[in-house]
Structures are given as C-alpha cells and as structure tokens.
Amino acid sequence: MFVDKAVIEIRSGKGGNGAVAFHREKYVASGGPDGGDGGDGGDVVLVADANMSTLMDFRYKRKYAAGNGADGAGKRCTGKRGEDLVIRVPLGTVVRDKLTGAVMADMSATERFVAARGGSGGWGNARFATPTRQAPRFAKAGLPGVEREIVLELKLLADVGLVGFPNVGKSTLLAAVSRARPKIANYHFTTLFPNLGVVYAGEDRSFVLADIPGIIEGASEGAGLGHDFLRHIDRCRLTVHVVDVSGSEGRDPIEDFETINRELAAYSPALASRPMVVAANKCDMASPEQIERLERHVREAGLDFFPISAAAELGTRELVRAVSYKLSDLPPIRTFEPEYVEPEEPAELPDPEINREDGVWYVDGGWVERLVQNVNFGDYESRNYFDRTLRDRGVYARLEELGVAEGDTVSVCGIAFEYRR
C-alpha cells in the first residue's frame, strides 16, 4: 500500500538526575561531595533512506520515544547518555510541526535532522560545593524531553510530472519511455498511486518522470485521487500535460486541457506557472482535424505541442528529447526551506496554582514542580532551602490571603506538610 502522509508523536529522552554522594575511602577523612551529573536524554533523529518509497511503516506505529539519560553516581561518575532514536523516512519527505504547520525539514538529502533534542542531565552535588557550603546534600534533577506531534508528507523527487485526466495514457507513456512497469488497464483510476521511472534521453542525459494519478475536475477540493497526489508535483521542474486528442472517452480535448489547468492553479498558483509541454496522446486514433484543433489552442496558450501515441510509441522519442533540453535550462528540483522556530524557554516559569479540596491546600504547577525535583527532603539543609524559597517567592503569602489556618495540610506537588506560620 502506498502511504504518503502520516502524523506521529515523538518524545526525546529525559535527562538523568544528578547524584548526592560523598567520597568514602579508608584513611581519607571528610572526602567531600562527589556526586556525578546525570546523563543527557537521547534525541529523536530523522534520516532519509533511499530504499524507502512510502510512509507505510508509520500507518500502525504512531508513538516514538528516545531513551532517558541515566542518573549520576558517586565518584563523580556521569550517568550514561540516553540512546538516540533514529527514524528512517523516504527521500523527499517534508517534516512539519502539526501545531503550527511550519516546515521543520525537507529530507531531500541524507543529512540527519534532530526533530526533538533530549533534556539535559542534572548536576550532581559535587558541583554545588563552596567554601561556605562544603557538604551540599542536594542535586539538580534532569530536564524533561521534548514532546510534539509532527506531520510527514512524502513529495516525490521527480524532475517531470505527467498530469491529465484518468485513462488518457499517462501510465502507458511512462512505460513506453522508461523501464517502469505500472499497471495499465482500460478503466478509470487504474493507477492508484504515483509511479516513478528514469528516462534516458541520450548520453549523460536522464531525468525522473512521475505519473500522477487521479486528477479530475474538483481535484483541488478533494474530488477523485488528485487531492491526495497533487503534492507530488510540487517539486517537479516541468509538467507534461497528457491529453486524449481522440476524445475516446467522450470528452472534448480542449475542455480537458483547460479543466486540468484550472485544478493546478486552484491547488497552487506556483504550480500553474511552472513550465509545461502538451502531449496529445492517441493521435493514431484521432483525425487530422482533431489534432489541428487542439494544437492551435495549445500554441495560442504559448505551449509546445507534441502529437504522440504512447501505445504505438509514435512521437515519444521526440517528446523525451524536447523535455530533456528544456530541463537543461531549468533550476534544480525544488526544496522546502525550514520555517519552524523552536519556542524559547520562558525566562521565568509561571506561578503555581493554589486550590483547596476536602480541607487540603494543593499547590501545583509552575516553578514549584522544578523546585520539588531539586530538593532532597531527607536533608535538613535542603528542607530549609525549600521552605525559604516558598516564603521568598510569595507562596505562603498567597495561602494566607486565601485563608490557610495554622495546622492545615498543604500539598506541594505531592509533598504534604502541616502549615506553621
């Protein structure tokens, strides 16, 4: 199954906590603090893989998480860094942030892209030793990882895109000029997903041709398959508009030509302004008057016209040669520039929320969560630091304004204590 769009959740690893430890060695008195730092959390990394052609792997697995960093240890041992998670995607995948829709990366090359960086490891107590505080009994907690949803969109890396109504012979033309072997049958929507073929136009001249299925009237608004696959010609440097000049489907070739052009313009004005040539297919089944009528209309639009029969391979060589020469004067395949800006960490975390339920005062959120993580409640000095911080930053004052009484139970991020003035 061809899947060209997927939404996944990614989470980088949490940083390990710093260690509280003291040097213990025979004949060494008061060795001092030697708790090591926690290891950094692992990153979530995307890598383009030329051997992948679909996003099918992301259809059933939606959540991906990197490894957490290990906690620090004594003897100033730093915890092990969390293992990076490497996610492989097809070449040509555009990565977007789901929340903002901004492009994060265009995986058109083999460069690695870090989609979510792991949290930093916390400092061990050895880092907090000073001449006046020689035995700190606290350490820093590791920072959390990044969680976000990203959208993966596969946009084929093709030089030329074949567009046109169903059953006009696009797949037949692809098979005639390349070694691609798409399914070919005489009914609409035979082609259910884009097909690629490499076309050799001569010595040292080749290009990639894509057959884009299912474009009909209303495709830009979701009709047919065109809405799903129009994105695959976003990168194409040139389009070949295939028209059934014989009218074998009972449609007017000129009306077909104009309808497809309107759909391209409705989907993307930039796409509509891209260079185009017209291939009048099934010319062996058309009358000279039919061919001349369409050619006159196309020439008036300023486009090159090539009468061909893909099934009989008539005129296909001339079409390939002309497309190859046009490509030599066109810029390279389009890439999407990143526009996503990583949100900055706030300089100050917000104040906590204070609520009362069943006689218990709850203080949660904001900067107190980080405070609780960094306090060793088994250490007298750390508890004093915790109490002093809550008082200095106005938490006690807010509680008293709300009516806290002596002896009431106060829970700060799950740590409960009896309130004393």
**Sequence ranges of the domains in the chain:** 1-154, 160-327, 353-418
What is the third-level CATH fold of 160-327?
Rossmann fold (3.40.50)
**Size (the chain), residues:** 421
The owner of tokens 């900055």 is 344
SS3 content of the chain, % helix, strand, coil (to 5): 25, 25, 50
DSSP for 303-331 reads -EEEE-BTTTTBSHHHHHHHHHHHHTTSP
Q: How far apart are CA 366 and CA 396, in angstroms?
A: 15
Whether 361 and 408 have beta carbons less than 8 Å apart is answered as: yes
Instruction: Enumerate residue ranges in the chain where pLDDT < 70.
Output: 1-2, 180, 182-193, 214-229, 345-347, 379
Residue 226's Cβ-count burial label (10 Å; 0-12, 13-18, 19+) is: buried
Distance CA 63, CA 11 (A): 8
Q: What pairs with residue 47 in β-bridges?
A: 88
Residues 97, 148: contact at Cβ < 8 Å? Answer: yes
Q: What is the pLDDT of residue 1?
A: 47
The domain 353-418 is classified under which CATH number: 3.30.300.350, 3.40.50.2300, 3.40.50.1240, 2.40.50.140?
3.30.300.350
pLDDT at residue 349, as a whole number: 79
**Rounded CA gap, 215 and 239, in Å?**
14
Helix (H, G, I), strand (E, B) or coil at 209: strand
With vertex at residue 355, the alpha carbon angle to CA 349 and CA 356, rounded to the nearest 5 degrees, is 155
The CATH code that applies to domain 1-154 is 2.70.210.12
Query: What is the model's pLDDT at position 332?
Result: 84
* pLDDT digit string, tens, across residues 61-92: 999 999 999 999 999 999 999 999 999 998 88
**Alpha carbon distances (Å) from 245 to 226, 321, 370, 384:** 21, 21, 71, 87
